[in-house]
Amino acid sequence: MTVNLLDFDQPKLVKFFTEQGEKTFRAKQLMRWMHHFGVHDFEQMTDIARPLRESLAATAEIRPPEVKLEQISDDGTRKWLIEAGGGNGIETVFIPEDERGTLCVSSQVGCALECTFCSTGRQGFNRNLTVAEIIGQLWVANKALGRDPKGDRIISNVVMMGMGEPLANFDNVVTALNIMLDDSAYGLSRRRVTVSTSGLVPAMDRLGDECPVALAVSLHAPNDKLRDEIVPINQKYPLKELMAACRRYLEKAPRDFVTFEYVMLDDVNDKLQHAQELLSLVQDVPCKFNLIPFNPFPDSGYRTSSSDNIHRFRDVLMRAGHIVTTRKTRGDDIDAACGQLAGQVQDKTRRVEKRVLIHHRQRQAVI
């Protein structure tokens, strides 16, 4: 089988070349061609001798994922629907801001964790993305966006906040992160690459050990009772354990705070009493808050908190000395906002089917 070299970080490329009796510096050369210059044709790699180019072309390929659709929002946000085989597709979003350009990258086709307010979670789970499919999103976006007039890359930040739970696809995500950070590839700073997790505690520890980058934790509730309900992984890793894991992570992290994400759901988690509870929950964890107005999707069953409630909630946290940002909704016209990424998921968990059944039973009970 032909190997796809986009699946390899530099150590894996070194192994690939040494196994063929080639020098280790070839790995760096190839990383530069593939990722720094975005070249996928071996023929264009002019500083690699022709016989090696030919043998590479015979045994390997550089195959980026295929773009099925690209949409551009009025506010400059761009979304790519990327082919994932078997009727599946995943989404990648670029969000331009004044001082930076952020790419929001997916890690799985769907998600198995079933947070109740998340469109990806609602769709069920199909499979983990390969390294080539994860880094391929940056490859594709980078090629489309290029560099600014000063010669800097338009994409300055990456957030693993697209479809899927990155820490549930640990090995592939970490290999892709290594490529993002590699100076021969994208050379992003650890502080500008963020992994967002719903709180897989053992994997958070592994990330701290193996590839510490900036960390965002999807908190969304200040107590176990509510979090068990809306972020069900909390039943396995409750808040006390999650907070301890955040503290351990900070000992290794490139930043000295964790970002807590908190989706604002009307009448569910947006009361002042929730804000007070939140303050005592995080008192031992250096953190910032990112309040995300709930982005609706069909049949979600939730409403977005009013802006008054969001302001009041924010003020409680700010008065206690916290830095709080409220996420602006971007790319509204192309459904590119947080939690709206739908892609195309062929559910293998039969979740959608089960939900339809429950829905029918409930209706029958009512009738």
Position 269 contacts ligand SAH (CB under 6 A): no
Helix (H, G, I), strand (E, B) or coil at 76: coil
CB of 24 to ligand SAH, least distance (A): 36
Q: Which of 104, 246, 287, 338 is catalytic?
A: 338
Q: Where do runs of H (alpha helix) occur along the chain?
A: 10-19, 25-31, 50-59, 119-122, 131-145, 170-181, 201-210, 224-230, 239-250, 272-281, 307-319, 351-366
Structure token pair of residue 15: 């192994």
| Piece in contact with ligand SF4 (CB under 6 A), picked from 12-20, 117-125, 146-154, 329-337 | 117-125
- CB-based closest residue to ligand SAH: 339
The token pair at 254 is: 């490139």
36/44 Cα distance (integer angstroms): 14
Is 197 a binder of ligand SAH (CB under 6 A)?
yes
294 binds ligand SAH (CB under 6 A): yes
**Which one of 84-92, 242-250, 289-297, 317-325 is the stretch in contact with ligand SAH (CB under 6 A)?**
289-297
Instruction: Please list every residue from 31 through 70 that binds ligand SF4, using CB under 6 A.
Output: none
230 close to 221: Cβ distance less than 8 angstroms:
yes
Rounded CA separation 196/233 (Å) = 14
Residue 111 in the binding site for ligand SF4 (CB under 6 A): yes
Q: Count CB atoms within 10 A of the CB of residue 152.
A: 10
Whether 211 is catalytic: no
Of the residues 120, 128, 142, 304, which one makes contact with ligand SF4 according to CB under 6 A:
120
Catalytic option among 19, 70, 91, 118: 91
* 104 noted as active-site residue: no
Residue 110, Ramachandran bin (φ over 0: left; ψ between -120 and 50: alpha; else beta): left
- Of 5 and 167, CB closest to ligand SF4: 167
- Applying CB under 6 A, the span of 76-84, 108-116, 269-277, 280-288 interacting with ligand SF4 comes to 108-116
Note whether 339 binds ligand SAH by CB under 6 A.
yes
Spatial separation of the C-alpha atoms in residues 51 and 317, rounded to whole Å: 63
271 and 312 in contact (C-beta within 8 Å)? no
- Residue 165 interacts with ligand SF4 (CB under 6 A)? yes
What residues form DSSP beta bridges with 260?
Answer: 217, 289
Q: Is 169 helix (H, G, I), strand (E, B) or coil?
A: helix
What residues are labeled active site?
91, 338
Residues lying near ligand SF4 in the complex (CB under 6 A) are found at 111, 113-115, 118, 120-121, 164-165, 198, 218
Residues lying near ligand SAH in the complex (CB under 6 A) are found at 115, 117-119, 161, 165, 196-198, 218, 261, 263, 292, 294-295, 338-339
